[in-house]
Structure 1
Amino acid sequence: MKVSVLVVALLSLVVLAMSRKPMATRYDNFKVYKAFIKDNEQLEEFKKMHQHMEIHLLQDIGDANRSYDVIVGPAYQDIFERTLNLLDIKFDVMIEDLQALLDESAYDPDAPMDWETYHPLDKIYDWVDEQCAAHDYLECKVIGHSYEGRPIKSIRLSKREGNKAIVIEGNIHAMEWISSATVTFILNQLINSNDKEIQRLTEEYDWIVLPMMNPDGFVYTHEVERLWRKNRRPNGFTNKTGPCYGIDMNRNFDFHWNGAGWNLEDPCDHWFGGEKPNTEIEILALQDFVSSFDDGYIRAYMAFHAYGQYVLLPYGHSNTEFPPNYDQMMRIAAAFADGALDSYGSVFTYGASGLLNYVVSGAAKDWAYGVKNIPFTCTVELRDKGTFGFFLPSNQITEVGVEVTEGLKSLVVKAAEEGIFD
């Protein structure tokens, strides 16, 4: 009898443990460094560092003569700094205590939807549903489901037949919380603003908004691992830590897929673009949705990411090949940068992503341009230029939303002048 009671008790503990959500990873006293790589010799040595110590690279490694952000825990900070000094690599400490910074942006799950804090997926989706129920000019659909079964929602704002459309896509990379925060800010402006210019833009253009392309990864960043980038499908590979999860979905589109990028061959790394293109159901849902509209209806496609304050144009796979209407797109991107500058002085640099940022292939903007023939596509990399990087404090969300909305207003006006919507 006692044995049975003990067995039941142990089984109850096992079930309880299995039912609990995993504890979120903490980053107490973790530092974020910015390392300045001046030449190819330094670059080759820098690439090897993650093989010998536990560090977390926050960007694809591309060329020399640029900086890279790295998270390092307390146990490796001394050896990391000594190695950089030995290699004559200059560095700054961007963030002294990452957890302290993250705690400043901690969210209240009971707080109403606003743009003063970062919200979890349920809060974002509840707000979207409320807007859809309140406005008959919104057509709201679930375009597909993620690997773990979460809906991928779209909102199409259309007040007049015959309009051309602009697509806005957010949070394909899970850790970039400012992306969906900005996209929902823009959507709120399009629906609820009294600004006459915004009202005009909603009358003369259709707007298709996809605020959350990576719901599984986004939930994972809130509940388990703030630094997660990919989706959450087991990708069939393992390493010393166990099964590997996820595909970088902005490397999985079938346009020059796998032609360029950092560490593409490592399926357990943050930038793995898959064994072949178009493997992810989230990406297929997006492509099917975009393809469901008549050719020529969608005239602009804008993907929102973080960070660096860029308007990145096609192409990403090359720094020597440019689209036929590249000069036209540059003028439109310049209008965005000029509009965004006026609000808070934020400077956005614009140009081909392979030229300005780093060479990488399989991105949404390149697929939208190269496969769907949408005449203006871009990736907008939001604030900032490196002070906080991916961990932008929540008290800057509204400012980002305001400056991007102003930039967007200017962009649409210029795109119309350039004949994009003809």
Structure 2
Amino acid sequence: MKLPILLIALVAMVAAKSAPGRMAARYDHFRIYQLTIETNLQMEELKKIHEHISIHFLNELGAIGHKYNVIVGPLFHRALEKTLKFLDIVFEVIVDDLQKLIDDSAVGNDSKMEWETYHSLDTIYEWIDQECAAHDYLECKVIGQSYEGRDIKSIRLSKRPGNKAIFLEGNIHAMEWISSATVTFLLNQLINSEDPEMQRLSEEYDWIVVPMVNPDGFVYTHEVERLWRKNRRPNGYRNESGDCFGIDMNRNFDYHWGGAGWNIDEPCDHWFGGEKPNTEVEIISLQNFVSSFEDGYIRSYMAYHAYGQYVLLPYGHSNTEFPPNYEQMKRIAAAFSDAAADVYGSTFTYGASGLLNYVVSGAAKDWAYGVKNIPFTCTVELRDKGTFGFFLPSNQITEVGLEVTAGLKALVNKAAEEGIFD
């Protein structure tokens, strides 16, 4: 087998699974460094840095001219900084103690669903069940089970026959807790808000929501390893640490699968896209669910991720190829960006993901556009731009929800103006 070039064995990580609610892996005094990569030589050297320093990359390494965040334990702080200075790589310590940041964003009062703290899968699912029981315009289904047998739940809000639908997807990446928090915030607004505009949107459009695509990985981030990204299926490979688990499910969709992306072919790495497309039961369940609706019904597909504050449009597999209605999609994305910024000043950059972010294949938004012919699809990368990154404190959940709600209102209205729902 091909051995991974980025197997991260971080100091002080405990591999054994602990009791629910308690982290096995701890990151006391681990730092997050933000690196600015300006030359190709710096990028090539950064890709090799794991050979002598234990390091965890939080972002896929792509184009130069971007900032990349890495986690390094206390034993390697000095070695990393010495290496970075030698390479003339500009760096900044943005988090001095990762464990404190993780503790600050941990699950708080989990007795009932609200949006001031992060919640466990059980609490999220209990809230979904309660809302489904309380409203006859909600159709709730289990669209499949995960590898470990957990339900993947969906909610379809439909108050009027003949509506076109908008699809919201959350937490395909396990560590991105703000994703499902935001998707459930939006769903709650559609169900319970007294805002006339939200009420109108819930009347004039159907809404299909899958808040938790990756329940196994999500539970794993709560109980064992906060930094876990993939699902939890053993993928058949091993390295010096033992069996390798998981597929990056947002690299596993069968649309230009495997054509681009850093380390998508490294089985033990965070971004492994699988040996072939459509290998994961969670992805098959999601695709079958989308395909169960008649063609032309779903007119927008939005996947929510962290982080970076982007509205990423197709395509991801190329930075030179663009969709036929790319200019139209940019106008719609611009409406989201402008409206979201009006709330707290958060700026969302918009454009093709392969152009703005990095080239990568097999993402959900590209499959929804390229295979299902849904005319507006995007990945919304939520707060922030890297200060907290994947560990956004829970006191920002409501702010994120409010700015994304404002953005969503404007996006839907602009999409309607552009004829997306015709």
TM-score tier (shorter)? over 0.9
Q: Deviations over 1:198-240 (max 9, x none)?
A: 0000110000000000000000000000000000000000000
Residue 104 of structure 1, CA deviation: 1.4
TM-score by length of 1: 0.95
Mapped to 1, the partners of 2:17 and 2:366 lie a distance apart of: 42
Mapped to 1, the partners of 2:136 and 2:280 lie a distance apart of: 32
Counterpart residue number, 2:114: 114
2:255 corresponds to 1:255: yes
Where does structure 1 lack aligned partners over 5 or more consecutive residues? Answer: 1-16
Residue 105 of structure 1, CA deviation: 2.0
Mapped to 2, the partners of 1:192 and 1:200 lie a distance apart of: 12
Letter of the structure 2 residue corresponding to residue 323 of structure 1: P
Letter of the structure 2 residue corresponding to residue 289 of structure 1: F
Change (3 A) 1:19 1:110: closer
Letter of the structure 1 residue corresponding to residue 416 of structure 2: A
Mapped to 1, the partners of 2:44 and 2:355 lie a distance apart of: 20
Please say which structure displays the higher CA radius of gyration.
1
Mapped to 2, the partners of 1:109 and 1:267 lie a distance apart of: 37
2:98 corresponds to 1:98: yes
Q: Deviations over 1:1-57 (max 9, x none)?
A: xxxxxxxxxxxxxxxx99956852111000000011111011000000123221100
Counterpart residue number, 1:361: 361
Give secondary structure in 1 for the equivalent of 2:101.
helix
Higher helix share: 1
Contact 1:109–1:120 under 8 Å retained in 2: no
Q: Which moved more, 1:212-221 or 1:20-29?
A: 20-29
Change (3 A) 1:76 1:398: same
2:277 corresponds to 1:285: no
Change (3 A) 1:18 1:135: closer
Give secondary structure in 1 for the equivalent of 2:335.
helix
2:18 corresponds to 1:55: no
Change (3 A) 1:67 1:20: closer
After TM superposition, which residue ranges in structure 1, 4 or more long, deviate above 4 angstroms?
17-23
Q: Deviations over 1:261-309 (max 9, x none)?
A: 0012210000000000000000000000000000000000000000000
Mapped to 1, the partners of 2:36 and 2:19 lie a distance apart of: 42
Percent identity of the aligned residues?
75
2:415 corresponds to 1:409: no
Mapped to 2, the partners of 1:18 and 1:261 lie a distance apart of: 30
Counterpart residue number, 2:188: 188
Residue 368 of structure 1, CA deviation: 0.1
Q: Deviations over 1:161-195 (max 9, x none)?
A: 00000000000000000000000000000000000
Mapped to 2, the partners of 1:331 and 1:169 lie a distance apart of: 22
Counterpart residue number, 1:339: 339
Contact 2:23–2:226 under 8 Å retained in 1: no
Contact 1:34–1:91 under 8 Å retained in 2: yes
2:159 corresponds to 1:159: yes
Give secondary structure in 1 for the equivalent of 2:48.
helix
Mapped to 2, the partners of 1:261 and 1:408 lie a distance apart of: 29
Mapped to 2, the partners of 1:104 and 1:285 lie a distance apart of: 34
Q: Deviations over 1:368-401 (max 9, x none)?
A: 0000000000000000111111111000000000
Contact 2:166–2:206 under 8 Å retained in 1: yes
Mapped to 2, the partners of 1:229 and 1:110 lie a distance apart of: 23
Residue 109 of structure 1, CA deviation: 5.2
Contact 2:18–2:223 under 8 Å retained in 1: no
Q: Deviations over 1:386-422 (max 9, x none)?
A: 1111111000000000000000000000000000000
Counterpart residue number, 1:87: 87
Counterpart residue number, 1:421: 421
Letter of the structure 2 residue corresponding to residue 207 of structure 1: W
Residue 66 of structure 1, CA deviation: 1.1
Mapped to 1, the partners of 2:186 and 2:17 lie a distance apart of: 40
Letter of the structure 1 residue corresponding to residue 313 of structure 2: L
Letter of the structure 2 residue corresponding to residue 241 of structure 1: S
Where does structure 2 lack aligned partners over 5 or more consecutive residues? Answer: 1-15
